Chain A
């Protein structure tokens, strides 16, 4: 129990999103793309739009926009120090993710910021999809 209390929360092992987590280790954002063209995440066998089971895990453009964010002051996970921000990102393919934004102070995060993926290795087996602001041309 005490080990669990100090270990950071990690991706669920072997779940239906395993291909997504494997993709992150390879530096790709892989989500399900249905034969109808609809992208989806979290994973499901059938497409919620056309109900086909015909899909591939496709590497999508790792860029998106911050739709919203919140800053945790209450600590829910002993290994995650507060305060920290969670951002809600919509990727250009339409899929949304909860994540963290790197390189921006908490009071400088803004809705509408354009962001791009950062693949952050947290343990030997786990890489997370985080984001940083898109570079601006000078």
Chain B
């Protein structure tokens, strides 16, 4: 095929947590500055910019003082991290752009972002129809899915707890994580119910922060400051039909499709993966993702996580940063940066020894799969 390999040449992240005084643009620019320095590039080297979650692309580029040849802006939905990375891969692979910056800025914590109630716009936009019944929030949507998964397969709160406890343990080894105190099963079960069957510790954090990635060609990346990490494969599969309501199959078909195509593009398989980064807006999303991507059979994700496979030192260390549950709520972006840092060996106390390939997965109405590698195709 002779495909041009595409690489991540730089990554940048801000602090996470409450960062009052920084708006989304500030956080995006902070992260972009870090990413460019990481790559050894200047603002003027960017010919493409993809902005996510910040209010306006023109204002962002004005603040950054740049005039790229390509620009677009995407909504602040977590599914868009992979959409943007997939788009950047295509822009570079087609030589439409040489060097693309992906920039995310989120001041949701300080701005008081809420994910339920009268301002809820989750899903396909019809939320207000259901407010009279008290139905609102992405958490409730996932609670409905979880209840069905429990009914169909016998999934238990104790199994969900393992996801939360494991990611918190990982966060304890990550100095930039917001929630680092260890938790145990009692703490999980004792945490207040939010939307049953989901408890507080099944929910992601809400934090301020920014993330940026610099994407360029293999040829260019090889000349830059840090070892390139290759985007060996990426694929999306939407699941929009009747998506006002939870999917009957827990997004299995869409996850399977995206995984198979991205793995085929990468020339790699699940057995080649050293670690996983799984979009963890809620603990059950991790279970659905493991099933859809084929790491376990449909219905078997509860026992699978209870066996401990997701922990550091085990077969598929997952969300080694602590993820959205314990590190930061950077809507997929920080998990992609964590994949890059693991493959460079930059992760210190949470480093996966010999990490070679890492699989990023997100289960949502846009399912996505990205395969990162230390080695080009």
- Among B131, B133, B135, B193, point to the contact of A73 (Cβ < 8 A): B193
- CA A71 to CA B144, docked complex, whole Å: 9
Check if A86 sits within 8 Å of B196, measured CB to CB: no
Check if B118 sits within 8 Å of A77, measured CB to CB: yes
Q: A35 within 8 Å of B by Cβ? A: no
Knowing A76-B134, A86-B140, say if A11 contacts B196 (CB, 8 Å).
Answer: no
Q: Which of B105-156 contact A (CB under 8 A)?
A: 116-118, 120, 126, 128-137, 140, 143-145, 147-148, 151
> What residues of chain B lie closer than 8 Å to A8, measured between beta carbons?
132
- Among B131, B143, B197, point to the contact of A9 (Cβ < 8 A): B131
Q: Which of A1-53 contact B (CB under 8 A)?
A: 8-12, 15, 17, 42, 48
> What residues of chain A lie closer than 8 Å to B151, measured between beta carbons?
68, 111-112
Check if B144 sits within 8 Å of A88, measured CB to CB: yes
Count residues of A near B (Cβ-Cβ below 8 Å): 34
Check if B118 sits within 8 Å of A42, measured CB to CB: no
Can you name 13 A-B residue pairings with CB atoms under 8 Å?
A12-B128, A42-B244, A48-B241, A69-B144, A70-B144, A70-B197, A71-B193, A72-B196, A73-B192, A86-B130, A86-B135, A88-B144, A96-B245
Check if A77 sits within 8 Å of B195, measured CB to CB: no
Knowing A48-B241, A70-B197, say if A77 contacts B136 (CB, 8 Å).
Answer: yes
Check if A74 sits within 8 Å of B116, measured CB to CB: yes
Q: A91 within 8 Å of B by Cβ? A: no
Count residues of B near A (Cβ-Cβ below 8 Å): 34
| Inter-chain residue pair count (beta carbon < 8 A) | 94
- CA A70 to CA B151, docked complex, whole Å: 12
- CA A112 to CA B194, docked complex, whole Å: 24
CB distance from A113 to the nearest CB of B (A): 12
Q: Which of A85-138 contact B (CB under 8 A)?
A: 86, 88, 96, 98-100, 111-112, 122, 126, 128, 130
List residues of chain B with CB under 8 Å of any chain A CB: 116-118, 120, 126, 128-137, 140, 143-145, 147-148, 151, 192-198, 241-242, 244-246
- CA A135 to CA B16, docked complex, whole Å: 54
Q: Which residue of A lies closest to B130 (CB)?
A: A98
Q: A57 within 8 Å of B by Cβ? A: no
The 9 closest A-B pairs by CB, nearest first: A70-B143, A9-B131, A71-B196, A73-B193, A76-B117, A98-B135, A68-B144, A98-B130, A76-B116
